[in-house]
């Protein structure tokens, strides 16, 4: 049964998309069938695995508003064991569309839950994958709520910077609210330190404060700040294809191994 992990932080620029792409690709290389779901209207995870607007017939937007079956939105990427449900800018308007749909269904006396749309759809296909990774937008709106409702757990990237913990309480509150209202089983998968600049005291201080706050939930793997990781998406490749021997590749492979280990499955898929 597929494990569904939402990569969440309402702060922009903390490494959600970079982590979603590279964790998903690394899980794929480690023989896990993985589906990457782009849930950000910016579509950076989509282009980051090499899909252009022209490659996309149906995106997560059409799935959420019931214009297409989820099976028909899934694209095989060039990466091993990695599939994608893409997103592009039209997703930005999904909020209003869902409100409108909810009204239409209510008039017909048919059930419709706009916060559970992603969950309803993903549940149809989740058994086809070992892992489903959802790249969330930098907000706590309807899209992130859908992700929290649909997921087994959340992975929180935290940038190694001075204000790292700023906004974390709001995020924790949102996760607790989601547990109460839409998903009592929602777990914290782990906290990932990202963009560590080598040899700075500041970085070490931040690591310490985040470790004392989140304790053993923090992954041992820390993602270094590397120009190669920032470059890879513009070539439409995960780091392990763009620069297989880079420290970024090693870091995300190590993260994937930790994720696999925490989920108590062997690295070798039984499928």
Q: Which two tokens stand for residue 105?
A: 């269904």
Quick check: helix, strand or coil at residue 11? Answer: coil
**Of ligand ADP, Mg ion, none, which one sits near residue 18, judging by CB under 5 to 8 A according to partner kind?**
ligand ADP
Closer CB to ligand ADP, 27 or 160, in the complex: 160
- Scanning 8-16, 61-69, 123-131, 166-174 for contacts with ligand ADP by CB under 6 A, the matching segment is 8-16
CA dist 138 and 119 (Å) reads 20
Select from 6, 8, 10, 16 the one that contacts Mg ion (CB under 5 A). 16
- Residue 33 sits in the site that holds Mg ion (CB under 5 A): no
- Scanning 10-18, 21-29, 106-114, 143-151 for contacts with Mg ion by CB under 5 A, the matching segment is 10-18
CA dist 54 and 43 (Å) reads 13
Binding mask 161-200 for ligand ADP (x = CB under 6 A): ---------------------------------xx-----
CA dist 134 and 148 (Å) reads 10
CA dist 260 and 34 (Å) reads 12
Quick check: helix, strand or coil at residue 146? Answer: helix
Phi first, then psi, for residue 172 (nearest 5°) are: -60, -40
Query: Which positions touch ligand ADP (CB under 6 A)?
Result: 12-18, 44, 138, 194-195, 223, 225-226, 229-230, 233
């Amino acid at each position: 049964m597929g494990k569904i992990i939402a990569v969440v932080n309402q702060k922009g620029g903390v490494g959600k998309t970079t982590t979603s792409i590279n964790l998903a690709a690394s899980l794929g290389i480690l023989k896990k069938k993985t589906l990457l779901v782009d849930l950000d209207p910016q579509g950076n995870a989509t282009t980051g695995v090499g899909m252009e607007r022209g490659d996309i017939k149906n995106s997560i937007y059409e799935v959420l508003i019931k214009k297409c079956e989820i099976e028909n939105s899934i694209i095989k990427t060039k990466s091993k064991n990695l599939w994608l449900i893409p997103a592009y800018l039209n997703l930005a308007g999904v909020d209003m569309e869902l409100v409108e749909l909810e009204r239409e269904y209510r008039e017909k006396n048919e059930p419709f839950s706009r916060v559970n749309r992603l969950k309803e759809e993903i549940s149809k296909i989740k058994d086809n994958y070992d892992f489903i990774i959802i790249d969330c937008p930098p907000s706590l709106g309807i899209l992130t709520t859908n992700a929290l409702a649909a997921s087994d757990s959340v992975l929180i990237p935290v940038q190694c910077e001075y204000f790292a913990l700023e906004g974390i309480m709001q995020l924790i509150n949102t996760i607790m609210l989601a547990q109460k209202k839409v998903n009592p089983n929602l777990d914290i998968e782990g906290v990932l330190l990202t963009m560590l600049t080598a040899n700075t005291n500041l970085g070490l201080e931040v690591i310490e404060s985040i470790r004392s706050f989140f304790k053993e939930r923090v992954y041992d793997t820390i993602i270094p700040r590397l120009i190669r990781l920032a470059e890879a998406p513009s070539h439409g490749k995960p780091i392990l294809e763009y620069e297989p021997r880079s420290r970024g590749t090693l870091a995300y492979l190590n993260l994937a191994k930790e994720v696999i280990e925490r989920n108590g499955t062997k690295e070798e898929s039984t499928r």
